[in-house]
A and B are shown apart, each in its own frame.
Chain A
Amino acid sequence: MITVKFFGSIRNWAEEKAIKIDKKNLKFRKLLNLVYDKVDDEFREKIEDDKGIKDFVIISVDGKNLESINNLETELEGDEEIRFAPSVAGGEFSFSERQIKRYSRHIVLSELGGEGQEKLLNSSVLVVGAGALASPVLLYLAAAGVGEIGIVDNDEVELSNLQRQIIHSTEDVGANKTESAKETIEAINQDVEVKTFRKRLEPQNARELIEGWDFVIDGSDNFPTKFLVNDASHLVGVPFSHAGILRFSGLTTTFLPDEGPCYRCLTPQPPSKDSVPSCQEAGVVGAFPGVIGSIQALEAIKHIIGSGDLLVGRALQFDALHMSFDEMKFSRNPDCPVCEGKLQELEEIDYKGSCRVKF
């Protein structure tokens, strides 16, 4: 299956975010005609004139600029991702009137502006989990206009989740969490394309799931997943925000695979079973993960727009009961297997203390 994605003003003309074309072994020229058939004739006129593809249209095949390969004679196998994006140099922004209104509070910020909003609309964030931390993350990323949001979760919404997992509603009880979250997001902002992955993140699928996203948010509720997000993100080079919460204390930090330390530098081993409370004791007040998740969403947004300083090499610790924030600096551990490049394959983390109560 070939996936064709549209961005910026081209998305408005196509009136689609993406289309799929089920053809194998064809030239790009042929694909282009199939795209025009699926969209409409006016679309062709906007993209091409007598001289060929117009200058401002940037087409890429699996991330490679079409001009740098063999142009319209390029052979496609049938599993490529094709992107149509307007050239960003010069000219005007391609926001619709509705988008100018929707994002006006972003546009007036000098640190964000039209340029930052364009970046957000063309960005992609994968959120691992659809629970207490992920709820504010998903709500704020959707409202901010992050163009593509992925959600990985295998659970169903339970009544006991609703006290903190604010992306789900009473009527969603029993529904798959990814689908419930998708519905909420689509009601907030149609600019967002939601991809749901109804599965657990596992050593067998983590690389594939995490590769290719601009940023990952770890909103998971257990240590094996947290280590897995760390290891996989470093292997495929995707930055991510980590968070952990327990009762009234939490911690969040951001990892850039190329630069900073990683989660294993901060926490070399999963904690022992004894240091984690038994399941019946693991309570949380919903507003608390709300704070931490909002910080995670901000880190994703700042990374995408390229403004400010991220929590790299800094763990922000939040004590909600006494309402204090502390910052702990940390650096690369010279013995860290991930940062030293010794870790080549993902493995099952031997950790038996995982609590069954879902955050």
Chain B
Amino acid sequence: MINKKVDLTGEVCPYTFVKSKLAIEKMKKGEVLEIVLDYKEAVENVPESMENHGHKVEEVEKTGNNKWKVIIKK
């Protein structure tokens, strides 16, 4: 189950992570965040940084032409 979704299409690094972090900060432990990205570098960077901050990367999936979703569990 997804508890929160943030659409970060159009955003580039480092704001893809900055905004993902702001979103997950307001969530409770165990809740799940979906991040939508269209910036290729962020598809690697955001999950990596999320892991460094102690969150669990559940899924990284290409959902379309230049579109990805990243699922993170707090």
Contact = CB atoms under 8 A, between A and B. Distances in A.
Given A110-B53, A114-B21, A104 B15 contact: yes
Interface string A97-120: 000110010011010011100000
The secondary structure that dominates the B interface is helix
B18 A108 contact: yes
B22 A114 contact: yes
26 contacts: A91-B26, A92-B22, A92-B26, A93-B25, A93-B26, A95-B22, A100-B15, A100-B18, A100-B19, A101-B15, A104-B15, A104-B18, A107-B18, A107-B22, A108-B14, A108-B18, A108-B21, A108-B49, A110-B53, A113-B21, A113-B25, A114-B21, A114-B22, A114-B25, A114-B26, A115-B25
Contacts of B54: 110
Contacts, number: 34
Interface in A51-110: 90-93, 95, 100-101, 104, 107-108, 110
Contacts of B22: 92-93, 95, 100, 107, 114
Nearest to B22: A114
A90 B4 CA distance: 12
Contacts of B18: 100, 104, 107-108
Nearest to B4: A92
Nearest to A113: B25
Interface residues of A, number: 14
Q: Which of B15, B17, B18, B54 has most A Cβ within 10 Å?
A: B18
Interface residues of B, number: 13
Interface string B22-55: 1101100000000000000000000001000110
Contacts of B15: 100-101, 104
A350 B17 CA distance: 57
Given A92-B23, A107-B22, 19 more contacts: A90-B26, A91-B26, A93-B22, A93-B25, A93-B26, A95-B22, A100-B15, A100-B19, A101-B15, A104-B14, A107-B21, A108-B14, A108-B17, A110-B54, A113-B21, A114-B21, A114-B22, A114-B25, A115-B25
B31 to A, nearest CB: 11
A281 B23 CA distance: 56
